[in-house]
Structures are given as C-alpha cells and as structure tokens.
C-alpha cells in the first residue's frame, strides 16, 4: 500500500524523522537506498510505502494521519492512461547496435553512474558528480551524449547541502537497453561489474569506455618529485579493476600496480611520459577539468606532449 500525503508533508515527515539521523542512518532504518530516499522520495517524486510511512511517524514521534489524502494499493493507477497495458508489454530495445558513443556512456556509468529498479517498477539511471568541478562536464557533455543516444534529456538535480549534483532519468526502456549491452541494475560493487566483452572486442570502443571511466573516476595530478601530471584511476570493484587492466593492456598502455589500502579506493596510474602523451592523443578527456591539468600557465600544452 502507498500513502499519499498533502503536498509538502511527505518531505516534512522525512526531515522530521531525520532530525537525529544522517541520511545513511535513516535509509538503513527504513531499508531504502540513501539516494532513492534523499532525492526521489524526499522530493515527493515517489509515494511512501505504508511500512516506510509507519516507521517515519514512529521516528519523528508525529502522527501525520490528518494529512493523508489517500491510501492506494500498490497497483493504483494501473488502468489510468493505459499504464496497465504498458506494464504488460515487453520493454523495448532502443538501440540495436553498439557504438563509440554508447561505449563511452558505459564507461561513465561504470564510473559515477547507477541503474536502479525500485518498488512499484520504477526504473531509473543516475550519473553523479561535483556541482562545481563536474558541472560543465555533466551538463554540456554527458547530457547531450545521453540525448544523442536515447532522444531524451536527463533531469539535473542539485543537493543544496553538499557539493553534489546528478543527472537522472526514469525509463524502463532505457534501463532494459543498458542491461542488454552489459550493464547490471543495482549495487555495482555487489554485482562485481566489469567492462562488457563487446567493448573489449574493439579498440575504438575500448578507448571510448576508458575515457568515460577516467573522466568520472580518474584524476590528473603529479606525484612527489615529478613535475608533470600522471593519469590516475580509482576503483574498489575487483572485476572492474581486472577488466581495466585488460583494456589498457590491449591498447598497449603500461600502468602501475594497484595500490590497495584500507578505507581508500584502490588506485593505479599511467606515469611514463610517452604513454601519457599517447593517452592524450588517442583517448583524451571529455571532462575538461582533467585536460586543463596538462596546460602551462600561458595556455600551451606541456612540452613533453608536443
């Protein structure tokens, strides 16, 4: 059963229950993912389940019964607007063939994205970043890339309490299509995700996927004693690290061994100048915050890249 409260009161209830909890703590108490609770349910894009509503009232020590407009069965509205017919239809495959653009999007999702299927059949994709450092990349590059593939733009969401921003889109067909091309819905670490085989079968697709991965979960910075920046990649998913190593080997790049530390993301890097120069030439960055690290104060490229 779903509980429909007066407009604004679902958010008020959640924030009241959160008063003595972090978002992570509250989501654990409710057995709901933090992002889903914080962004979708809190902003009233999705109705509360009866169980979640009851727990929230108990945590907030408030009875919101007087604000309930309706109590709806889980299949409420299925007959409206042909929704029931749509749910009974098989999801549509929106892309028939792989492409360089799709390979790059796969890398972006493997890095900073997630696919979710929630209660009530809600399917959505979210790609996250920093609202200061990644704003131009997400809005001016990732969103147009997504639209070029699926014909739809993603919604931009900002979190006023931290530096987070995200792009999100709900679509059963899009999630079905991305699943078809090797991306799994749910927790990436639990699913032990990896670069799909169809990408590794093509050097062009592999380069595009690596670009997406490093644009999102990579960094560009020097190490002590070196005057030029290295290209770094961080990852806490074992199978993704192995497929990254395989991809870099297929492309002929030498990377360091993984530095695996407790409570830190494992990381490796490209550190020799010829490979860094070749990486910039053959793969490059779509996220300009990385590219800028290779520019001198006068705007020229670092000499070893010429």
pLDDT tens digits for range 148-204 = 999 999 999 887 778 889 999 999 999 999 999 999 999 999 999 999 999 999 999
Given 191, 212, 241, the domain boundary residue is 191
pLDDT of residue 80: 45
Taking 60 as the threshold, does the pLDDT of residue 281 lie above it?
Answer: yes
**Which residues face 124 on adjacent strands?**
116, 170
Range among 44-48, 96-100, 115-119 with highest mean pLDDT value:
96-100
In a domain, 149, yes or no: yes
Taking 90 as the threshold, does the pLDDT of residue 140 lie above it?
Answer: yes
Tally of domains within the chain:
3
Angle at 293 between CA 128 and CA 111, to 5 degrees: 25
User: Do 230 and 179 fall into the same domain?
Assistant: no
- The conformation of residue 202, written as its DSSP 8-state character, comes to -
3-state helix, strand, coil in the chain (%, to 5): 45, 15, 35
In a domain, 82, yes or no: no
In a domain, 237, yes or no: yes
User: Do 227 and 172 fall into the same domain?
Assistant: no
In a domain, 142, yes or no: yes
In a domain, 110, yes or no: yes
User: Do 111 and 129 fall into the same domain?
Assistant: yes
User: Do 185 and 207 fall into the same domain?
Assistant: no
User: Do 218 and 186 fall into the same domain?
Assistant: no
User: Do 163 and 222 fall into the same domain?
Assistant: no
Torsion of CA 64, 66, 72, 73, to 10 degrees: 60
In a domain, 93, yes or no: no
**CATH code of 167's domain:** 3.10.28.10
Strand ranges for the chain from DSSP E: 2-5, 48-49, 68-72, 113-118, 122-130, 155-158, 164-170, 218-221, 230-234, 267-270
- The conformation of residue 305, written as its DSSP 8-state character, comes to G
pLDDT of residue 297: 57
pLDDT tens-digit profile of 62-106? 888 888 888 876 554 544 444 444 455 788 999 999 999 999 999
Which pLDDT band holds residue 296 (cuts at 50, 70, 90)? low
Structural contact between residues 188 and 199, judged by C-beta atoms closer than 8 angstroms: no
What span, in angstroms and rounded, lies between the C-alpha atoms of 167 and 182? Answer: 21
User: Do 205 and 183 fall into the same domain?
Assistant: no
- Residue range of the domain that includes 10: 2-72
12-37 mean pLDDT? 85
């Amino acid at each position: 059963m779903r509980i429909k409260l007066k407009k604004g009161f679902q958010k008020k209830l959640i924030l009241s229950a959160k008063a003595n909890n972090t978002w992570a703590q509250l989501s654990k108490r409710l057995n709901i993912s933090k992002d889903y609770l914080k962004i979708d349910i809190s902003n009233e894009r999705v109705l509360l389940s009866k169980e979640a509503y009851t727990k929230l009232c108990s945590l907030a020590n408030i009875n919101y019964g007087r604000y309930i407009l309706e109590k709806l069965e889980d299949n409420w509205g299925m007959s409206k607007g042909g929704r029931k017919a749509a749910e009974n239809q098989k999801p549509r495959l929106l892309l028939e063939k792989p492409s360089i653009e799709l390979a790059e999007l796969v890398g972006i999702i493997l890095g900073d994205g997630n696919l979710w299927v929630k209660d009530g059949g809600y399917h959505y994709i979210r790609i996250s970043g920093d609202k200061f450092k990644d704003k131009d990349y997400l809005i001016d590059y990732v969103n147009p890339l997504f639209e070029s593939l699926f014909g739809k733009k993603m919604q931009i969401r900002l979190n006023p309490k931290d530096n987070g921003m995200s792009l999100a889109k709900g679509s059963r067909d899009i999630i079905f299509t991305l699943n078809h091309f090797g991306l799994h819905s749910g927790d990436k670490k639990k699913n032990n995700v990896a670069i799909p085989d169809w990408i590794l079968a093509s050097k062009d697709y592999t380069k595009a996927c690596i670009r997406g991965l490093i644009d999102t979960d990579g960094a560009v910075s020097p190490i002590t004693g070196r005057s030029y920046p290295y290209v770094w990649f961080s990852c806490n998913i074992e199978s993704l690290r192995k497929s990254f190593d395989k991809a870099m080997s297929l492309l002929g790049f030498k990377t360091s061994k993984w530095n695996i530390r407790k409570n830190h993301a494992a990381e490796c890097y490209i550190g020799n100048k010829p490979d860094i120069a070749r990486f910039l030439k053959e793969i490059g960055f779509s996220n300009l915050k990385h590219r800028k690290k290779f520019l001198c104060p006068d705007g020229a490229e670092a000499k070893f890249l010429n």
